[in-house]
Homo-oligomer: A and B are copies of this chain.
Amino acid sequence: MQPYHSNVMASAKNPASIHLPIRRAVIENVRPEIDGGRFPIKRTPGEKVEVTADIFADGHDLLSARLLYRVQDQPDWSIAPMREVVNDSWVGEFRISRQERHIYTIQAWPDAFKSWVRDLKKRQDAKQDLSLEFLAGAELVAQAAARSSSTENAAALREFARQFRELHKDDPDTAFAIASSEELALEMARCPDLAAATIYERELAVEVDRERARHGAWYEMFPRSCTNDPTRHGTFQSCIERLDYISEMGFDILYLPPIHPIGEVERKGKNNSTERLPEDAGSPWAIGSSLGGHKSIHPQLGTLDEFKKLLAEARRRGIEVALDLAFQCAPDHPYVREHPEWFRIRPDGSVQYAENPPKKYQDIYPLNFESEHTEALCEELKSIALYWVRQGIRIFRVDNPHTKPFAFWEWLIAEVRGECPDVIFLAEAFTRPKVMYRLAKAGFTQSYTYFAWRNTKWDLTEYFRELAQTEVREFFRPNLWPNTPDILTEYLQYGGRSAFVIRLCLAATLGANYGIYGPAFELFENRALHSGSEEYLDSEKYQIRAWDIRRPDSLKDLVAKINAIRKDNIALQSDATIRFHEVDNDQIIAFSKASDDRSNSIVVVVNLDPHHRQSGWIELPLDYFHLDMHQEYQMHDLVTEARYLWHGSRNYVELDPQRMPAHIFRLRRRVRSEQDFDYFL
């Protein structure tokens, strides 16, 4: 069969002739490197990129290696040293300073000078005659002087070479001292011999996002439910009135479900009923009606100017507004009339509605990415995102991205970020792991996770080890949600108020990015549509709800406290350092995050059992936290302000879910002051 005639060259071809100079150093197994360099890793300014590689050469020479890195559009490389760790494995790192795409690669070469110094020491130890060796060294140093671009460096090297020649026979001790001196090593390192250096065959990219991509607390809220009156439709103005409440809780991002006109045709009633009443508000995700589509605003919410006022008022409180990108249409969306070619047509001429057989979603028409009209469709979808960017939106939560092609997202996200690099895309894909990871590789800044369904210590530990301690961490930024309008887990349904506290503490500390869907969450709304369902009863997706946000049992003060702790502790603003710690009780999970120098170290201990008091012994790695085996240290509970003195690696914890099921400890080391009393820093 002849299905496909290749005109691609085979990847592994025989070299035609020996290439000179022979580049003896080999650089392989470079990490991070996503899919052979096909995708970038992700960072924010201030974060470091630690690069490891296997580097070696034939023979016994010592090697030198360094990281080369630069902003993509700048020609000049910066340099960071690499050092051998063990067994031909090398490491180096650089820090991202600007919010621009960076490139990195590795350079390595056999270092004749370093090898000469090493061998010289061995010969000296064996009491061999070194006179010829000093002449060989003089030659190496003189060659370095000749290639140096600095006259001062060259002069210094020429002087060293002269000394070797002068002393080589008569004063080997002085010559040896010079050869092994720091001064000579430094001058030599200024002009390495790179003529036969190896450059790694790929240049690897770092996509750099703004800091908000790395950490933020999200609050999801239905604008139409902001009035405290289920019969009165909320507006952007009522959202503005609720901003102080949200701001007091310390949220960074206010995420609104779609704000566009809601379809009238096939509109669903309350609790997703196919029989709707005239007053039913419909699902905001059934986008488009005679009143407009994805670039329009649902009139009951207000005008574009009022929307912009909401953005401004939010911004004044340090809050960004995130919008929903839900690329699908209600039957009466203008696209259906104006661009029927963007949809699939059934054999009877009707437009194909969404299906997951045998389920039918007649109120939703999916877009068709497999027609000859796809290019125009893609351009239109891009124009939707850019329209809202121009209104001031910098964060999109993308609805069901896994039902549109990966190549479409890779293109769209690159296009939008090409115009505005600040834009953040959060992928709402709850599907198979490889699909979720591929969306992240394709460009999504952040991703929803399986967190909502990971409730046991084993499940949480396994999952977060995968997310934070494997290559996944390089491209997939988790955003943890204990609930969403689609997800009311069994754990929350049956665990009572403590369950909400437990899940809040876990989400806000395991995840530098996390969010809650409120006010349902802080008011621990836990009524499901029916037993076995994760849908809310009287879900806001289909109706306006009134929430008594001033209820005295609200979790809002705890939320505020925890968000404040997140802001005060940089350890919680990154997921790079998550470590799990042993506790001899499967109901208690313990983990930590710490700043690079451990000056900010947070240890979180959570009782996962919402019903019973649990206790156990926790084991902390003292070395890692720079703690002394013989010195006590203070565990400062940032929620309750209680302070415990701990000693050694093994300490007792006890947590009563009826009071507080979690400790969020700041670990404080003892400092002996001049005033002769101790305190903890």
Which residues of A are in contact with B by a Cβ distance under 8 Å? 1-6, 8-12, 14-15, 17-24, 26, 28-29, 35-40, 54, 56-60, 68, 70, 72, 75-79, 87-88, 101, 103, 107, 119, 122-123, 125-126, 128, 132, 135-136, 139, 194, 196, 199, 201-205, 346-348, 355-358, 369-370, 372, 374-375, 378, 402-408, 410-411, 414-415, 418, 432-435, 438
Contact = CB atoms under 8 A, between A and B. Distances in A.
A668 to B, nearest CB: 42
A346 B405 contact: no
A432 B87 contact: yes
A381 to B, nearest CB: 10
A132 B346 contact: yes
Contact of A38 (B201, B347, B415): B201
Nearest to A206: B12
Contact of A405 (B8, B24, B136): B24
A191 to B, nearest CB: 10
Highest count of chain B CB atoms <10 Å: which of A5, A20, A126, A348: A20
A91 to B, nearest CB: 15
25 contacts: A1-B77, A3-B68, A4-B68, A4-B107, A6-B70, A11-B36, A12-B37, A12-B38, A12-B40, A15-B407, A15-B410, A18-B407, A18-B411, A23-B407, A24-B405, A29-B35, A56-B434, A58-B402, A59-B402, A60-B356, A125-B358, A126-B357, A126-B358, A128-B358, A196-B370
Contact of A28 (B6, B12, B205, B438): B438
Nearest to A403: B59
Contacts of A204: 11-12
Nearest to A378: B18
Contacts of A410: 15
A357 B119 contact: yes
A-B pairs, top 3 by smallest CB distance, nearest first, are A126-B358, A11-B37, A135-B347
Given A12-B38, A12-B39, A38-B201, 17 more contacts: A4-B77, A6-B75, A10-B103, A15-B410, A17-B411, A20-B375, A21-B370, A22-B407, A24-B405, A56-B435, A57-B406, A87-B432, A88-B432, A123-B357, A125-B358, A128-B358, A136-B346
Given A18-B408, A24-B369, A125-B358, A347 B76 contact: no
B11 A38 contact: yes
A54 B203 contact: no
A13 to B, nearest CB: 8
Contact of A14 (B58, B139, B356, B418): B418
A505 to B, nearest CB: 31
Contacts of A78: 1
Contacts of A356: 60
B19 A199 contact: no
A122 B357 contact: yes
A358 B103 contact: no
A125 B357 CA distance: 10
Nearest to A33: B36
A22 B369 contact: yes
Given A22-B374, A346-B132, A88 B126 contact: no
A2 to B, nearest CB: 5
Highest count of chain B CB atoms <10 Å: which of A12, A348, A406: A12
Contact of A10 (B29, B72, B369): B72
A434 B202 contact: no
A36 B36 contact: yes
Contacts of A405: 22-24, 57-58
A76 B5 contact: yes
A1 to B, nearest CB: 6
A206 to B, nearest CB: 9
A27 to B, nearest CB: 10
A36 B22 CA distance: 22
Given A77-B2, A347-B135, A402-B59, A408 B358 contact: no
A56 B406 CA distance: 10
A39 B358 CA distance: 48
Contacts of A10: 72, 101, 103, 203, 205
B5 A75 contact: yes
Contacts of A19: 407
Contacts of A203: 6, 8-11
B22 A408 contact: yes
B58 A404 contact: yes
Contacts of A375: 18, 20
B358 A123 contact: yes
Given A10-B103, A370-B196, A411-B18, A2 B76 contact: yes
A411 B347 contact: no
Contact of A136 (B36, B57, B347): B347
Nearest to A11: B37
B434 A87 contact: yes
Contacts of A194: 3-4
B414 A15 contact: yes
A522 B9 CA distance: 50
Contacts of A35: 28-29
A60 B196 CA distance: 52
Given A35-B28, A77-B3, A369-B24, A12 B205 contact: yes
Nearest to A366: B59
Nearest to A15: B411
Nearest to A198: B407
A406 B432 CA distance: 42
A24 B194 CA distance: 44
Contacts of A87: 432-434
